[in-house]
Structure 1
């Protein structure tokens, strides 16, 4: 659901015009998998369970969207008009796709069919950036689409998940990969929220948007472990800010980057670990250590491909660094800033 102009641009995208890409899309929405099954999860309803060991980076699932709603629609229509369009959109889905959609959770009672459709969308949607398939946007326009992927919505939330997802604008598909090893019999989970938050921040966000209390191990641990976890999260936020500062008075060091990696690991922030490796690669390269920079850049690429895909900015940046650390913009930059070499050269 979007404006006529945006709709025309979308239908001209490769997903709808390139036979090779559209052929790939037809193979994405598989009924099942040899590595997972849908099963009842105590206290959560249905979820995905690994049927065999899954390694870091392994592909778990790819699926295309059932419903995509341009955020501008929420501002340009009345509540009833929005519901009418949602119902119409679901009505036009293929029978099997529609049944899968209507079988998704609403988290509470839906009084009638209209309410059910609306609540399924509200409860199971992902924010998808329009960059990649919308080339021109007015400054006043929203640039996200509210999108339902029914198969992926079967995956339950965990604040410390073992899988992550990214959207491919070329195929209009959402891809799921393991971000750490997953053992057979373990539930496969994703996070619905930004995981770099304190416990109270996470619980408030989940309650506001999805109306359920989180039962993950990170949110239900005792008060002492919670306090230690919250302290690590606050330190991550401070250290990350320092590492983003490239001014001559920045306190960032390679030791600080190593600390960030350790904090992410202690917090089991597997979906974001590539970010910490990226900071470490840039810090080491900025200090003139090309081989340590390459080590961490390779780790950033390995983890980043699973979490954000090949177009993730950190992955792209690290691919450039490993190609030639000495030609990368970060080479000796930290040392130059601190020693004020540029000023000495000008003198």
Structure 2
């Protein structure tokens, strides 16, 4: 049997370019009928052959590029459709790009999740073992990254109807996505096409429909928002009380998802597709295009949950108030502690540990306990609980531990100085024993 000959990168990319050009010729034939659909041509859909290793032309042609180049290829490559060459330049010249995918240094060999059938939801993700707060569940590059906005440069005929315009946009978008799909490796292409499509009846083509159903927002380039479709992460179902926090790392072109609370083996792993703090009616409207009727506890009892979530959405930065309280000996020691602990428990009961408001209250509690430690009311261990948890949440956002500690120390010093003055005033006012 003849040995398999591995293709060089140049050969692979040349084949991808030839596939793209062949599709362009096919689309030109399809474009000859565009007039009957209410528009003159697929404006903006210009593709130019760019030799491997050379920069894209400095114009507004769409750029198809496989990224990241030369870094961690075993973790997968991403087919990117970028609005223009300036967008590619911004992507590849980002400081530190490209970088390997972040992974847990001490993670076990076994995968922490499984893709299984979820009753009434189709395929979804469940925990393969018990997962703990802060544990990295998945670190994955997208199969495809494309612009999230619709094509804006189609030349409409005066007779074009709103329906024709919508169909034309979907038709042109399908062509753009098809080029990227055909550039993929066969197994990646198959994985993409097996994802769920909730847009089969609104004029979307199958490739665009899958993108509209499964894409997560990833980054912005030149003011345009982009979305990524993933093999496994796009299988994660929605919950208004998600048990994960996600962050897209632009340096490695990968999505990380972390557990924000304990997840038992076999429990479904969930993410949010809309703002969890929005009222039930707004969440239901946002989820309708996905064909989702959420059955989480918040959606089963919206009359109660809406009030709680509105209260949580009103949480603001309380650092000035904490500093003022810490330095005023006339104010009770537990003035801010009780309400903050109550609010934190409310968030945990509602399953909102992934919200920014939860981080904020954790931070407030750290500062409050740091002041109470100086005053002498509490031990250092109480403060450390909230400090550790807040720093862990910052690392989810790929904020360095050093940066998080600098912010924490700056605010803690401000509160600490106020608390120290409070202690000195209190001691001075205490009656002396004879």
TM-score by length of 1: 0.74
Q: Which of 344, 361, 380 is the matching residue for 1:261? A: 344
What is the aligned partner in structure 2 of residue 94 from structure 1? 185
What is the aligned partner in structure 2 of residue 281 from structure 1? 366
What is the aligned partner in structure 1 of residue 387 from structure 2? 297
What is the aligned partner in structure 1 of residue 406 from structure 2? 320
* Partners of 1:316 and 1:73 in 2: CA distance: 40
Alignment of 1:171-210 (within 5 A): 171-207=252-288, 209-210=289-290
Shift in Å, 1:248: 10
* Partners of 1:210 and 1:334 in 2: CA distance: 51
3-state SS in 1 of match to 2:238: coil
Structure 2: 5+ residue stretches without partners: 1-81, 104-108, 155-167, 326-334, 422-434
Q: Which of 126, 150, 153 is the matching residue for 2:216? A: 126
Between the two proteins, the alignment pairs up a number of residues equal to: 306
Tell me: higher relative CO, structure 1 or 2? Use CA pairs within 8 A at least 6 residues apart.
1
Structure 1: 5+ residue stretches without partners: 27-31, 337-347
What is the aligned partner in structure 1 of residue 121 from structure 2? 44
Distance 1:151 1:110, change over 3 A: farther
* Partners of 2:112 and 2:131 in 1: CA distance: 8
Choose between structure 1 and 2: higher helix proportion: 1
Q: Which of 197, 206, 229 is the matching residue for 2:305? A: 229
Distance 1:103 1:289, change over 3 A: farther
* Partners of 1:260 and 1:76 in 2: CA distance: 49
Structure showing greater Rg:
2
**Is residue 4 of structure 1 aligned with residue 85 of structure 2?**
yes
Shift in Å, 1:82: 2.5
RMSD between superposed Cα atoms in Å: 3.7
Alignment of 1:161-172 (within 5 A): 161-172=242-253
CA contact (8 A) 2:323 2:415 kept: no
CA contact (8 A) 1:293 1:325 kept: no
3-state SS in 2 of match to 1:258: helix
CA contact (8 A) 1:110 1:119 kept: no
Shift in Å, 1:166: 0.7
What is the aligned partner in structure 2 of residue 66 from structure 1? 143
Shift in Å, 1:267: 1.1
* Partners of 2:418 and 2:150 in 1: CA distance: 46
CA contact (8 A) 1:15 1:172 kept: no
* Partners of 1:259 and 1:185 in 2: CA distance: 30
